[in-house]
Amino acid sequence: MDNPDLYKKSSDLRDDDHAQLLDEFAPTFNWRVDGKDSVMDVGCAGGNVTTEIVLPRLPTTFSRLMGVDVNEKMIDYANKCYKIPKVSFSTLDIGGDVSEFRQKNDPFDHIITFFCLHLVPDQKRAVQNIYDLLETNGDCFLHILADFSGFDIYKAMYPRWSEYMVNIDNFISPYYHRIDPVNMLKNHLKNAGFTQYTVVERRRIVAYHNIQEFIGAFKPIIPFFKHIPLERHSEFFDEFCKLAMEIRPDEGIQIEKFKASQNVNIFVSYKFVIAYARK
C-alpha cells in the first residue's frame, strides 16, 4: 500500500464499485442550492478516485475538493500528478487528532470515504472526527469493509509469519466477524451527534480466473510486504494464493465474473457496511 503506481493499477474493481455507489447515493446528498459545495475524500490514496470518480460527479460550480490520507507518500504522489483547479490533497489521520487541521481549514459540506475506514482501529473517534469536520447540515457517505476473505487468510498465515505481520489487527476491520456491524456503525453515528442516518449491509463475491490477475489485484494492497525480506516475497504470496484457492463461495450470492468453464476460479468475498448520515 506504499506504492502509488501499483496501488492505482490494482484498483479497477474497487473504482467500478465506488462509481456505482456514488451514482446510487449522490442524489440523496444535501447539495447546496448555490452549487458551491465543498467535499472531502477521506483515504484518497494516490488521488485517482478523488479526481476520476468524485470530481466528475460534483456540480461544476463546486468550491473545493480535498483528498486526505494518512500516507504522506500517497499525498505527495497525488499533488504531483493531479494539478487541478479547486482540487487539493493533504495529509490527515482521520482516526487521530484533527484539531490543527480544523483550525487551518473550513468545514466541509460533504465527506466521502471509500474502502479505507476499516483501517482505522478507533471507529468511534473516526466517526466523531468526520462529524466535527462537517458544516452544519453537512452529510457524509461511508463505504466500510467489514468482512473480507483476505482477513481470514491473514489469520491463517499469522502463526508462521507473525514476525513480519506486525500489528496485524490494525489491518483487519473492527467490524470483522461481528454479529451486527450495521448496529455498531449506527451507534457510532448516533454518539457522534448525527441525527439522520441510514446504514445497510452488502455482500459481494468476485471470481478471478488466473493467478496473475489475482496477484495484480491484491499484492499492492497487502500491508505486510514492507516487513518481509525481498527474497521471501514469493514464498509469502504463494502461500496467500494457495489459501485463497481453497476458499469456497457462500451459497445464494451471485458471483461476479464467474466462468464455470475456467480451470481456475479464485473466489474473493466481501461484506460492506454503507452509511449515509446528515449532521
CATH number at residue 87: 3.40.50.150
| pLDDT tens, residue by residue, 194-205 | 999 999 999 988
Residue type, 181: P
- Whether the Cβ atoms of residue 279 and residue 134 lie closer than 8 Å to each other: yes
**Residue with grid cell 448496529, as numbered in its chain:** 183
Q: Is residue 219 part of a domain?
A: no
Range of the domain at 78: 4-148+168-205+270-278
Q: Is residue 236 part of a domain?
A: no
223 vs 207: CA distance, rounded Å: 22
User: What pLDDT score was predicted for residue 6?
Assistant: 54
User: What pLDDT score was predicted for residue 7?
Assistant: 57
User: What pLDDT score was predicted for residue 8?
Assistant: 52
90 vs 69: CA distance, rounded Å: 7
User: What pLDDT score was predicted for residue 229?
Assistant: 94
Q: Is residue 155 part of a domain?
A: no
Q: Is residue 128 part of a domain?
A: yes
User: What pLDDT score was predicted for residue 257?
Assistant: 59
Report the domain count for the chain. Answer: 1
User: What pLDDT score was predicted for residue 1?
Assistant: 53
Q: Which residues contact 114 (CB under 8 A, 6 or more apart)?
A: 14, 18, 21, 41, 43, 49, 143
Q: Is residue 108 part of a domain?
A: yes
The tens place of each residue's pLDDT in the chain, 279 residues long, gives: 555 555 555 455 555 688 999 999 999 999 999 999 999 999 999 999 999 999 999 999 999 999 999 999 999 999 999 999 999 999 999 999 999 999 999 999 999 999 999 999 999 999 999 999 999 999 999 999 999 999 999 999 999 999 999 899 999 999 999 999 999 999 999 999 999 999 999 998 888 888 888 888 888 888 898 899 999 999 999 999 999 989 887 766 666 655 554 566 788 899 999 999 999
Q: Is residue 195 part of a domain?
A: yes
User: What pLDDT score was predicted for residue 218?
Assistant: 83
Q: Is residue 89 part of a domain?
A: yes
* Full DSSP string of the chain: ---HHHHHHTTHHHHHHHHHHHHHHGGGS---TTS--EEEEET-TTSHHIIIIIGGGS-TT--EEEEEES-HHHHHHHHHH---TTEEEEE--TTS--HHHHHHS--EEEEEEES-GGG-S-HHHHHHHHHHHEEEEEEEEEEEEEEEHHHHHHHHHHHHHTTTSTTGGGGS-TTTT-S-HHHHHHHHHHHHT-SEEEEEEEEEEEEE-SHHHHHHHHGGG-TTGGGS-GGGHHHHHHHHHHHHHT--PPTTSPEET--TT-S--EEEEEEEEEEEEE-
User: What pLDDT score was predicted for residue 255?
Assistant: 64
38-42: strand order across its sheet: 87-91, 64-69, 38-42, 108-114, 134-148, 266-278, 196-208, 255-256
- Whether the Cβ atoms of residue 75 and residue 46 lie closer than 8 Å to each other: no
Q: Is residue 103 part of a domain?
A: yes
* C-alpha dist (Å) from residue 17 to 115, 174, 243: 10, 22, 25
Count CB-CB contacts under 10 A for residue 257. 13
**Residue with grid cell 467500478, as numbered in its chain:** 16
| pLDDT tens, residue by residue, 246-270 | 988 776 666 665 555 456 678 889 9
195 vs 215: CA distance, rounded Å: 43
pTM: 0.91
